[in-house]
Chains A and B, each alone.
Chain A
Amino acid sequence: MTPLGPVAAGERAHLISFFLWMLPITLPILIGTPWIAMRYRRHGGKGKYDPNWAHSVGAEVVIWGGATLTFLIVGWLTWGHVQGEDPYKPTGKDPMHVKVIGSEWKWMFIYPGKVAAVNRLVLPENTPVEFDLTATGAMQSFWIPRLAGQIYAMPGMKTKMNLTTSENPSQTYGFNSQFNGAAFPLNKFEVDVVSQDQFNAFLQEPKHPFAQLEKQFKKTATWSGPELFEPPETGFWDKVAMNPDMLTDGGAAILPDNAPEQKQIDDAIRDELHVSQIQPQGDAQ
């Protein structure tokens, strides 16, 4: 996973550093076990046999000491990492705000006072962004792997996630990683990081009325239709966060046998697969 932004890069660095810090205490086991197995095997092993050797102060000190020391190091590092990379802490001055609502099986992004979008997240390059997350229906996990780790979006609750976008324009994707029913594999969105000019142009693109979005968004279904809408009145996101039922008709995520929605989902899956054949998401390594 090649990180595009500093948060994901930090996470990757921690991953590597932790792996390396674990080696001093684990390599002796990984090498020692096969070595002991060879050396002390009953037939042909060269090791000395000492059936009553069952305690050694030196060994105890080394074992408990080594394990404790490793723990102290990784524990200390953890404290620093967590404080440094608190997803609630803005990654720069005056982050741009995007309000997010997850639903079965689509995402709404509200750029307050400017535009609302579905399944399409456009962000200016090299900019700190703060996402305010909530959901209707099931709990979701909001994740853009190449930019930052995930945070849950839950109905009736508000959570936050901060990140800084890539230095240059880039394309990636985000998705919900928490299983939520029949169209879970389709529960993803495009992420375009663009130049400031392009971003301004994006805000000016033609829009559909918000009422249309609201009506269609309530259905338990995958999204098909326009992506850009007029923004809702201010405070809309907070209202949804307090009362998630206002943005859902409450359909089932587990469809009864022979449900007509299933056909739509099957079609959407076929569509999706077709698209991804032409344009693979190209995110290997």
Chain B
Amino acid sequence: MSILGSLDWNDIFIVPFFTEPSLSTGIAAGAGGVVVLGALAVMVLLTVKGWWKPLWSNWITTLDHKKIGVIYIVLALIMLIRGVLEAVVMRAQQVSPAPGFLSVEHHAELFSTHGTIMIFFVAMPFLTGVINVVMPLQIGARDMEFPFMNAVSLWLSIGGAALVMASLVVGHFETGGWTAYPPYTGIKLSPNEGVDYWIWSLGLTSVGSTLSGINFLVTIYKQRAPGMKLFDMSIFAWATLCTAILMIFAMMPLTVASLMLALDRQAGFHFFTATQGGNMMNFANMFWLFGHPEVYILILPAFGVFSEVIPTFSGKKIYGYTSLVWATIAIAVLSFTVWVHHFFTMGQTANLNAIFGIATMTIGVPTGVKVFNWMLTMWRGKLRFSTAMLFSTGFIFTFVIGGITGVMLANPTIDFATHNSLFLVAHFHNMLIPGLLFGMFAAVNFWFPLCFGFRLDEKWGRRSFWLWMIGFYGAFMPLYAIGLMGAPRRMAFFTEPAYFPWLVIAMLGALCVLAGLIAQVIQIWVSVKNRESLMVPAGDPWDGRGIEWSLGCPVPEYDFTTIPAMTSREPWVDAKEAGKRIMDPTEFVDIHLPKPTGMPFLVGLVATLFAFAMIFQMWLIAAVGFVAMWVLVLIRSYDTDWEETITAEELREGYEAHKRLVETTPQIRLDDEFTTKNRGLIMETQV
């Protein structure tokens, strides 16, 4: 066997187009071309502008939790663009005269990459990024407990995403959907490298996510500001805590299941083949043992975001703090007890189905309570509809519809008639788009100034909200309808004339979503262009409540000049009510921060090389990559000179500078918060 394993000419993206030209292969070649050209264009840009060095020293080597968070979010946005474009292509395929312009397999690759990307390379990095930026600031920490490991997680996730992108250029992705059930994904029925792409890209990110979970959890346990009890934490921090626990326990079954699948495929094992004593139902069980908690990993952080945004823009305390916390904990615990609802149709007994169906419905109780809590937070408030608040309100309204259909699907007898149908597809998008993406969009609009020092443009933000909202209804309500008529999911084309008008509406909806995404790109572009006038250096541009808003924007590398004194649940609100505009300093002490290092990047790089080699069975290269990965970690472990000190004096200067800034920033009214008058430190004044 050659050193290049199973790789051959036909795997290179443009070759199939030349050997067999068609619209389908043309699109594949085009997509590969976009990836290659895009990568080249970025490199040229970096070279021309001389940005390689700053990119390396400010971003790639950073261990700062805020910057790591930003990189995660950038990754998520790039992958979101790909995911939405794929969705639009699928929608276009189904409205063009059957059999459409894509082959069945190409369409299958599209829904598989779309699903895989949206879950693992949009949702996961997005929420991990937001947690990275916000959580330490909310608990009064200077960084994650394990900053180096944090960066390793990041680069493993990027490696996984890079592999999915690589599948456009070299070889194929798999076609068995994001769930990749064997025996379809076994070596017999799916002999090409597609499933291996799925296994190894997920392998990298799932390890990254497990490590992130550990990091978040330990950070919350060990790094809270002195005096901060668990029940003093913000709801977002609580959401992070529960998410972290889910990440630690839920990623494992996925990692194990996918490695077992890899053994089946490449080492002749029979975990999931029926004939040799294996059983693919074990895969379904393990996958969903991960998969169901996963959907709560996706949703809880967004719940946390809404619990911060809504009180802020209602000018009001959060309603029912204790209720919310217990509801979050209940959801996290219950999420491990319901996985069978993903395969009520697998032939288990009626009692088992009924028990899991009912267990699923219990989750509706705490979730429903949370929705009412948010509503009651708005009740008797003074609501300001910023972009973040619009996304939050839109979420409450839309999410409830998904909740209704969710309870319906939890009844096994209804599930028999809707499983594997577009009704189900509509349901989970109905949960994930408001319950995940809207939350993340709200988070970006809300906390953006902490990272970059300026606000995002509100006009384009609001436009993007309306486009997303209308687009969502257009794209998915029709799927409920045709799902109930019996339209299955993952279908390349339909021959049923009655579906057609609905599919056209869904197509228009998807285009509207795409327009929403474009509006967001414009929003960022416009904001960067006008950043001078959007600058809020004094911090707290929205009369915020958490202690992260007591800091100047952008937040300095060390986060806090002194660790804030936690005298209550909302010390920043107390300080403002006492007429202060800066928190009283506690004690200035020397602090140690880890130095930037290129090591995590290198670990990610060799891990990706290892994974790529595993995909194409280049065993020698794989071995080298695997060993190199651990050698790098070892080298780092023996490095003693990894910290740098920031002296108490520097911190005091930082504090004084911020104080001067605060004193010279004029007090403006809350009504002016979206105008250029807002330079930070806005407050409700009695008018």
Contact = CB atoms under 8 A, between A and B. Distances in A.
B319 A53 contact: yes
B400 A49 contact: no
Contacts of B385: 37, 41
A211 interface: no
Contact of B381 (A25, A49, A104, A245): A49
Interface stretch (A91-99, A176-184, A192-200, A231-239): A176-184
Given A41-B383, A138-B189, A252-B190, A280 B496 contact: yes
B20 interface: yes
A11 B493 CA distance: 26
Given A37-B383, A273-B98, A159 B347 contact: yes
Given A14-B411, A29-B396, A82-B412, A8 B275 contact: no
Contact of A36 (B373, B378, B408): B378
A68 B492 contact: no
B26 interface: no
Max chain B CB contacts within 10 Å: which of A50, A63, A150? Answer: A63
A157 interface: yes
Which of B320, B351, B380 has the largest count of A CB atoms less than 10 A from its CB?
B380
B165 to A, nearest CB: 21
B275 A252 contact: no
Interface in A63-111: 63-64, 66-68, 70-71, 74-75, 77-79, 81-83, 85-89, 104
A12 B411 CA distance: 12
Interface in B545-579: none
A280 B184 CA distance: 31
Contact of B274 (A15, A49, A244): A244
Contacts of A150: 345, 416-417, 419-420
Nearest to B364: A71
A116 B362 CA distance: 46
Interface in A134-164: 137-139, 141, 143, 145-146, 148-152, 154-157, 159-160
Interface string B291-329: 000000000000000000000001111111101000000
B335 interface: no
A254 B380 contact: no
Interface stretch (B29-37, B465-473, B481-489, B522-530): B481-489
A79 B350 CA distance: 9
B22 to A, nearest CB: 10
A276 interface: yes
B498 A285 contact: yes
Given A29-B375, A253-B189, A139 B350 contact: no
Contacts of B319: 53-55, 59
Given A53-B319, A55-B319, A152-B346, A254 B191 contact: yes
A10 interface: yes
A258 B20 contact: yes
Contacts of B396: 29, 33
Given A74-B411, A285-B498, A82 B353 contact: yes
Name the prevailing secondary structure of the B interface residues: helix
B349 A88 contact: yes
A14 B369 contact: no
Interface string A243-276: 1110000101111111000100100011011001
Contacts, number: 320
B485 A85 contact: no
A152 B343 contact: yes
A160 B105 CA distance: 30
A51 B315 CA distance: 6
A159 B73 CA distance: 45
A185 interface: yes
B136 interface: no
A40 B393 CA distance: 13
B495 A78 contact: no
A181 B184 contact: yes
A244 B275 contact: yes
Given A55-B320, A137-B183, A138-B189, A177 B411 contact: no
A226 interface: no
A113 interface: no
B253 interface: no
B414 A36 contact: no
A229 B85 CA distance: 48
B400 A179 contact: no
A42 B397 CA distance: 20
Contacts of A283: 485-486, 496, 498
Contacts of B408: 15, 18-19, 22
Nearest to A281: B496
Given A29-B371, A78-B412, A150-B420, A159 B346 contact: yes
A201 interface: no
A26 B492 CA distance: 35
B369 A141 contact: no
B381 A40 contact: yes
A34 interface: yes
B372 interface: yes
A217 interface: no
Contacts of A26: 400-401, 403-404
Interface of A: 1, 8, 10-12, 14-15, 18-19, 22, 25-26, 29-30, 32-34, 36-37, 40-42, 45, 47-56, 59-60, 63-64, 66-68, 70-71, 74-75, 77-79, 81-83, 85-89, 104, 137-139, 141, 143, 145-146, 148-152, 154-157, 159-160, 175, 177-185, 243-245, 250, 252-258, 262, 265, 269-270, 272-273, 276, 280-281, 283-285
Interface of B: 10, 16, 19-20, 98-99, 103-105, 108, 175-177, 181, 183-184, 188-192, 194, 274-275, 279-281, 314-321, 323, 343, 345-347, 349-351, 353-354, 357-358, 361-362, 364-366, 368-369, 371-373, 375-385, 393, 396-397, 400-401, 403-404, 407-408, 410-421, 484-486, 488-493, 495-498, 671
10 contacts: A11-B416, A36-B383, A139-B183, A152-B347, A157-B279, A179-B108, A179-B489, A244-B274, A254-B192, A285-B485
